[in-house]
Amino acid sequence: MLRKNSSGISIVLADVKTPGITIRPIRNIAGHSEFCEVFFDNVRVPRANLVGKPNEGWTIAKALLSYERLSIGSPRRPAYALRRIELIARAKGLFADAGFADRYNALALDIQDLDRSTGASSSR
């Protein structure tokens, strides 16, 4: 019987302060570290920290990724936030400020571009 490449993967929870876990920030060109590398060297965690059953980690990971993919790149959340900002800005007369209006319009265009690139209409 052929084994799938994903067989043998399990998910465990570990405190980042556990001995053997090393975290190194990855700095971008601006010097910010939005991501990091995590290294596991002879890390031991209790069996109770296993998530699900042994060798079912890839199934769990796929389920988690599907939730992540629903929100990343979707224009719906930023469009909703921008509509809320517009309501408040109109009530407070902020569009009279050219700087505010320019920034608002730039954000609106960014969301419109995202909407067109994903094919998911934020106006729904």
Catalytic residues: 68
d(CA 74, CA 122): 8
Q: What is the DSSP string of the chain?
A: -PPPTTTT--EE---TTSTTEEEEEE--TTS--SEEEEEESS----GGGEESSTT-HHHHHHHHHHHHHHHTT-SHHHHHHHHHHHHHHHHHTGGGSHHHHHHHHHHHHHHHHHHHHHT--TT-
Single-letter amino acid, residue 12 = V
